[in-house]
A and B are shown apart, each in its own frame.
With several copies, the nearest count.
Chain A
Amino acid sequence: GWYLKPLPPSTPTIHVKFTLDWAYQGPQAPFLVALYKGFFAEEGLSVTIDRGYGSARAVSDVASGLFDIGFGDFNSLVEFKSKNPDAKVKMVAVIHVKSPLSVVTLKDSGITTPKDLEGRRLGAPAGDAARRVFPAYANAVGIKQERITWVTMDVALREVMLARGDVDAVTGFYYTCVLNLLSLNISENNIVVFRYDEYLPLVGNGILVNEDFLKKNPEAVKKFLKAVVRGFKYVIQNPDEAIDILMQRDPTLNKAVERKRLLMALEIINVKGITDRYGFGYVDPSIIEKDIEAIASAFGLSRKPSLGEVVDFNYLPPLEQRLP
């Protein structure tokens, strides 16, 4: 009879400490959705989500064991692994299958192609990923790097300085820059974006796992990825509900802006020709190899980590579960 149906496996719930890449904003919604809609709980996971402080810091925070799992930048991971070969961190899913890194400028500045950046002033924070990868981009496009003047400034100043004309262009995540410019009342058609991925085979953020945790709880990692993929799929279907869930964490957010930010972020997560072929979380290793190559030369890394050192796609759910 139905009462003989086996009870769900009585595995104890596993606790997972998870860190985001940045503050609670639209693009971070899928993880919160997975939490609040109970996707994690259904997998027997009890997850705590913390805000992040930059997609690079997530790498060292997961490596140090401060968090078990994190959402962080692949390129930073490559650099980190190159410098700390023993570091216990690995990427188990690539979420940003394209890189959000870009140069953003205004039509008023007269810059229409990347080549026009020569002789101009570019603003960015010291550690900005787009600034650091810029040499590789410049190489690919054929910009003479020596002719670029960098102006270092805090993130909070970046778009303001661009809007006021203190700098001619800025580097950063395209959706952050564009939305901040919009909030400064710059009209959308005045904004020019040069995305690095037009010339460079780069990926962006992915799911990072602490390897000690991975060894101890391989099943939990699998379940975690399963729930996260569900989260992304759900958000794509129900963006408004996702933003409502996000607002529970931070009621001061502007709903419309965050919705737009989310949708812009999804452009590099749910990409025609990639995601509908490989599903969420997976990128062709040959592209990753090229990414590693580009980063190693742009950062001047003395040691190039191997593919196996940085990624492991074996914990992803089966393809059919991952297709959008």
Chain B
Amino acid sequence: MASGKKFKVINPLLTLLLLGIAWELVIRVSNIPNYVLPPPSAILAAFGSYPWYLTYNLAETLTSALIGLAIAAAFSLTLSIPLAYSEAVRESVYPLITGFNAIPRAALVPLLALWFGLGAAPRVLTAFLIAFFPILVPTLTAMITMEKELWEMLQSFGASKGQILIKVAVPRAMPYFLSSLHMGLTSAFVGSVIAEMVASDRGLGYVILSSTSRLDTPLAFACLILLALTTFLISKVLSLVERRVVGWAYRVNI
């Protein structure tokens, strides 16, 4: 048991390590220049040069991403209930949301900055705007594919549509809601970073932009990898929460 658990954490790190070594070797052997793809060693060196600066900017990005995610999660869950409640609402609102989501949020950030100023607001908002849809879709699907038999069971003793949703559809959708948070998490990070690229002078997005504009690719990669690692860790924590909260749904040990 214990060794199994350890294995779960070590395994992806091992995969990562192997990937890193392969990457370094390929670059050394084939002599690919830094600006096409920097080797892990150069990226590590970039980490080493600015540990505090990167940490500070990561913290900025992390904060706005997590706040955006939290709002997105709350919003999606709340919105999915009325959407599940009424097919008419769903039919009129859902395609609009889908359409809205096809608009590249990067194009909207300058507008958001105009409306909400240059503070944290546009970053949190962008994170939220990108993250909420991938949380909403699976949650809503799980709600509206509820088995008819369960529905009838609750109706039989006089439960209203709303109560059925709250008591059955929502908990039934929980495994999907929680697993979609992984997706929402990555989206929120992307959102924060994009917003930082377009309207901010802090956060990893800013660092990426300013380093790429100087063609300092290793530093840009260091930021990207920092983002990936952070998300990876938060995602691991999320998985633990998932197994705790909705373990009942994962009874098959595939």
Q: Which residues of the other chain, B, contact A24 by a CB distance below 8 angstroms? A: 201, 210
- With A84-B33, A153-B113 known as contacts, the answer to whether A126 contacts B215 (CB < 8 A) is no
Q: Which of B207-230 contact A (CB under 8 A)?
A: 207, 209-216, 219
Q: Which residues in A have their C-beta under 8 angstroms from that of B213?
A: 22-23, 56, 126-128, 132, 155-156
Q: Is the pair A184, B200 in contact by a Cβ cutoff of 8 Å?
A: no
Complex CA–CA separation, A64 to B212 (angstroms): 15
B214 nearest CB across to chain A (Å) = 7
Contact A257 B214 (CB under 8 A): yes
**Chain B residues within CB distance 8 Å of chain A:** 33-36, 49-50, 53, 109-110, 113-114, 117-118, 197-201, 206-207, 209-216, 219
- Specify which of B36, B118, B209, B219 is in contact with A126 (CB 8 Å cutoff): B209
* A306 contacts B by Cβ under 8 Å: no
Is the C-beta of A80 less than 8 angstroms from some C-beta in chain B?
yes
Kindly identify which residue among B35, B109, B197 contacts A160, using a CB–CB cutoff of 8 Å: B35
Count the A-B residue pairs with Cβ separation under 8 angstroms: how many? 122
In the bound complex, what is the Cα–Cα distance between A153 and B34 (angstroms)?
Answer: 20
Q: Does A154 contact B (CB under 8 A)?
A: yes
Residues on A lying within 8 angstroms of B by beta carbon are: 22-25, 50-51, 53, 56-57, 59-60, 63-64, 66, 76, 79-80, 83-84, 86-87, 125-128, 132, 150-157, 159-160, 164, 166, 180, 183-184, 249-254, 257, 299
Smallest distance from the beta carbon of B114 to chain A beta carbons, Å? 6
Specify the chain A residue showing the minimal Cβ separation from B34. Answer: A84
The docked-state distance in angstroms from the alpha carbon of A184 to that of B215 is 8
Alpha-carbon separation in the docked complex, A157 to B35 (Å): 10
Q: Does B201 lie within 8 Å of A64, measured CB to CB?
A: no
**A61 shortest CB reach to chain B, Å:** 8
Q: Which residues of A are found within 8 Å of B113, using beta-carbon distances?
A: 66, 153-154, 157
Cα A127 to Cα B34 with chains together (Å): 19
